[in-house]
Structure 1
Amino acid sequence: MITAVAIDDEPKAIEVIQHHISKINGVILLASFYNAKEALNFLKQNPVDVIFLDINMPHFSGIEMLDELQRKPNVIFTTAYSDYAVESYNYNAIDYLLKPFEFERFQIAIDKIAHRIEEATQQNQFIFIKDGFKNIKITFEKVLFIKGSGNYLDIFTNEKSYSPRMTFSELIEKLPTAQFIRIHQSYIVNIEHIQKIENNQVYIANHQLPISNRYKATFFKRLNL
């Protein structure tokens, strides 16, 4: 599942993106924003696979928003101006869609992002964490969930748990967004290991983890609930 966010100050442009995405299986639009600063706050807490981003917006441009993000997402620029095409390549943009764009052209951009995500997934299937004087390799598929506590994390796997000195923001940059999602200020879960969801609790193995109101809507939308 490819997760996306649309950012454009024009409601009609957002409607077009929403309409095109509704016709494509395997892509979910988690949120839409008419204001880049609001989008920035969302993306800092909820990494996604791709953002559809207008460049020329009042007060705070799409380029300024990208500069504020530590983790640079995959970007498909959607703009009425061809002037920014060269600059877009400085941000490793997947594609550059000139408004108005038809569904067929939009589908080409989606195919590009799917190909890039597939390549990245094949390359990044593990993480190394510091444990004393050792560096331990942990494969993502074994991670059940992660609990944050200040400058430390508790990484729970199906074998044991690890407590590296690392913040949530540092770890989020390394996790594949297709596999992990935040459900609480203190919890990130591996979607593949969720057994059930009941009474605002996520059940994984023998653990019950809380879903906070702040992340509930995005989490449920991600799972099509």
Structure 2
Amino acid sequence: MNKIHCLIVDDEPIARDIIQNYCQHLDYLNVVASCGNALEAKAIMQTTHIDILFLDINMPVMDGISFLKTLKNPAQVIFTTAYKEYAIDAFDLAACDYLLKPFSFERFIMAIDKATDKLQPAKTRQEGSSIPASQPGPIEDFTFIKTDGKIYKLSHHDLLYAEAQGNYTRIVTTSNTLMPKMPFSSFEELLPASTFLRVHRSFIINKSKIDHIEGNRLFINNTEIPIGSNYKDQLMKELGFPKA
């Protein structure tokens, strides 16, 4: 699998270290360099191909937004900043995502997902046969989840279903149950839509794990899960039973 080349630009050493540490958990990310200002970054980008640019906004010499305006062919840009008021300017410049410090590992992965989704067609065009068009993107069969002070590698194959529980998401796998403090919708965004389906406002299921369906209920490992009336038609369509 081809590496995705990243450049970290932030004037705070601790912030650079956090991003670099997050990147190290994803073996398809390669941090080419980590620098403290835009001029150092520009020199690197003139000689090295960068796929994802982690860019702080409030920096000396030249701020991140001004720096981005100077780039003719920018990488996928993920802004990392403590100042939410810059968000509109960032997205006006077609930034891929905007991470507000301090951001969690889960939120970092969501940003990487967005960047790689946008990056994949571009890399295919630029590199030709190095990434076959039929090959899926780098994120496909696992998700990292942080809870109870630990980071768990969650295999999509082992995930049975997830349930919304207030500010938490209850994640049930073949061998474990995790309860991270994260919005249900945020967890849903981490999962491939081809495998995981929302069947109720409070439930996401792995369709490959369905044992059987009875009326407005489905069963996974003897657990009964309700099917919401607003989701049933789409569920049946995904399972190959379109509404007559």
| TM-score, normalisation: structure 1 | 0.54
Match of 1:137 in 2: none
Q: CA deviation at 1:73?
A: 1.6
1:101 to 96, 103, 119: 103
Q: Which has the larger radius of gyration?
A: 2
Q: 1:33 to 1:125 in 2, by over 3 A?
A: closer
1:35 to 37, 41, 52: 37
2:65–2:89: 8 Å Cα contact kept in structure 1? Answer: no
One-letter amino acid matched to 2:129: E
Q: CA deviation at 1:119?
A: 2.9
Q: CA deviation at 1:18?
A: 0.7
Structure 2 unaligned runs (5+)?
131-244
Supply the distance in 1 between the matched residues of 2:13 and 2:4 (Cα, whole angstroms).
23
Q: CA deviation at 1:27?
A: 0.5
Q: Secondary structure at the match of 2:114?
A: helix
1:44–1:69: 8 Å Cα contact kept in structure 2? Answer: no
> Deviation above 2 Å: which 4+ runs of structure 1?
119-122
Supply the distance in 2 between the matched residues of 1:117 and 1:92 (Cα, whole angstroms).
13
Q: 1:35 to 1:125 in 2, by over 3 A?
A: closer
Match of 1:134 in 2: none
Q: Secondary structure at the match of 1:83?
A: helix
1:79–1:98: 8 Å Cα contact kept in structure 2? Answer: yes
Q: CA deviation at 1:47?
A: 2.2
Q: CA deviation at 1:121?
A: 3.7
2:63 to 51, 61, 64: 61
Greater relative contact order (Cα < 8 A, sep 6+): 1
1:4–1:30: 8 Å Cα contact kept in structure 2? Answer: yes
2:17 to 9, 12, 15: 15
Count of residues in Structure 1 that have an aligned counterpart in Structure 2: 128
One-letter amino acid matched to 1:23: H
Identical-pair percentage: 41
Supply the distance in 1 between the matched residues of 2:84 and 2:118 (Cα, whole angstroms).
24
Q: CA deviation at 1:125?
A: 5.6
1:36–1:62: 8 Å Cα contact kept in structure 2? Answer: yes
Once superposed, what is the RMSD of the aligned Cα atoms?
A: 1.7
